[in-house]
Amino acid sequence: MELHILEHSLKVASIEKEGIQICTHGLIKLAFLASRTRCKFFSLTETPEDYTIIVDEEGFKELPQSEHISVADATWLALNVVSGGGNTSNSQPIGVTKIAKSVIAPLADHNISVFMLSTYQTDFILVRERDLPMVMHTLSSEFTLLRVVNGETVAAHDLGVTNGFVKPKLVPRPIIHPLSSPSNMFCVTSLDPDTLPSVATLLMDVMFYSGGPKDPGASNEDSSHIRFFSFSLIEGYISLVMDEQTTQRFPNNVLFTSASGELWKMVRIGGQPLGFDECGIVAQISEPLATADIPAYYISTFKFDHALVPEENIQSVIGALRPESTAQ
């Protein structure tokens, strides 16, 4: 297995809901007019609390300075696990549960905080740039380490951390943060970049203006139905995560969907903002799911984490994560 260290220097930021209008011009340029920017890595995720953006330094220049924008205090690098010598972005996702014991757990055991972004195409593990020497030291015995330079993969140089690799102890990690499972069912999908102009107006409405579809027949009593939408444009590949109702707004045959029409349920992690310094949150969730052989997408945002699991597995997931209780 190969671990690719991508060349993008990334910023992670939060945009307050009330401040989104001052950022909309820059965000539309990054999402829909990428050829007019030098940005290669852009992700925008809306949750009930805020918008989280993950963007490279070129893309960050497109955003205004504002009191409504909070930026995490670090530069982040994206790591990508590739099985064999495939291209980073067009390989099928390994899945966060497939890398739980080989990547996520060892980094947690070495006190390295990670920020996860699963997309339709692949899974990105974000680490602080300053942690890279220890990341490479920790994972070098399990992976061939490669850096991506000008789009080409080259051997990663030793950054000076020595004294050998310590195999992590496989000890249970208690889940210390509250869990909840919204009532929405979600789709993880994509679309051909060539078709983006044809749905740009609809996507802009979904992302910035509509606040989600308004269904006159929907019950207002379903307080567990949340607003969640994620758009990523990374090295030319588009990934979308949206609830089932939102997908129905798109024309037929525009979105890529599996033959089974697979739907996903969400587990939200955190009763209050998680911050960036705690280690092991992703491991707490991904290790039990890996043990149960349940696939998952994992999306970290500025304040909370989100795991997406197949709809038919949600009760097993809740049981695996919280044997003594039920997610609310």
pLDDT in tens, the chain (328 residues): 899 999 999 999 999 999 999 999 999 999 999 889 999 999 999 999 999 999 999 999 999 999 999 999 899 999 999 875 545 444 445 578 889 999 999 999 999 999 999 999 999 999 999 999 999 999 998 899 999 888 888 888 765 555 555 555 556 688 889 999 999 999 999 999 999 999 999 999 999 987 644 444 444 445 689 999 999 999 999 999 999 999 999 998 899 976 567 899 999 999 888 988 888 999 999 999 999 999 999 999 999 999 999 999 999 999 888 755 444 4
State how far the Cα of 242 lies from the Cα of 184, in Å rounded to an integer. Answer: 9
State how far the Cα of 270 lies from the Cα of 304, in Å rounded to an integer. Answer: 6
State how far the Cα of 309 lies from the Cα of 29, in Å rounded to an integer. Answer: 32
Give the pLDDT confidence score for residue 324 in this predicted structure. 56
Give the pLDDT confidence score for residue 152 in this predicted structure. 83
State how far the Cα of 22 lies from the Cα of 166, in Å rounded to an integer. Answer: 48
Q: In the structure encoding, which two tokens stand for residue 168, read together?
A: 């992590």
Query: Tell me, what amino acid is at 130?
Result: R
96: left (phi over 0), alpha (psi -120 to 50) or beta: alpha
What's the half-sphere exposure (Cβ side, CA atoms, 13 Å) at 32?
A: 17
Give the pLDDT confidence score for residue 84 in this predicted structure. 57
Q: Is the pTM of this model over 0.85?
A: yes
State how far the Cα of 316 lies from the Cα of 87, in Å rounded to an integer. Answer: 34
State how far the Cα of 133 lies from the Cα of 135, in Å rounded to an integer. Answer: 5
CA 222 to chain centre: 26
